[in-house]
Amino acid sequence: QKEVEQDPGPLSVPEGAIVSLNCTYSNSAFQYFMWYRQYSRKGPELLMYTYSSGNKEDGRFTAQVDKSSKYISLFIRDSQPSDSATYLCAMRTGGNNRLAFGKGNQVVVIP
């Protein structure tokens, strides 16, 4: 079983829709949870960062962490064509900085 599971299927949504992405994980030692956005032919960039369980909101983006279920989510409200990218979940323990990534979801927002 992989440490982090993210169904890598592509997602196409119309502009203005809500995008919902999620990951599950098996390592209960993970404490820090991140979502990275990767545009085509670019390196990943940090989008959201959450410590432990709870919700975090930043503009149109909301990250949720449920440690009891080992499940994290990212919601994008009022999606825009500029949100078209691959979204990768990532997480790490408190002891080191090794990031464990999901495989990523390619999101396409259709104008």
List of residues contacting other proteins (CB under 8 A): 8, 32, 36, 41-46, 49, 51, 88, 90, 94-104
**Of residues 46 and 110, the one with the C-beta less far from other proteins:** 46
Minimum distance, C-beta of residue 49 to other proteins, in the bound complex (Å): 5
81/4 Cα distance (integer angstroms)? 28
Among left, alpha and beta (phi > 0; psi -120 to 50; other), residue 42 is: beta
**Of residues 35 and 79, the one with the C-beta less far from other proteins:** 35
**Of residues 30 and 44, the one with the C-beta less far from other proteins:** 44
Phi, psi torsion values for 83, nearest 5 degrees: -80, -5
CB 49 within 8 A of CB 72: no
Minimum distance, C-beta of residue 95 to other proteins, in the bound complex (Å): 8
Minimum distance, C-beta of residue 101 to other proteins, in the bound complex (Å): 4
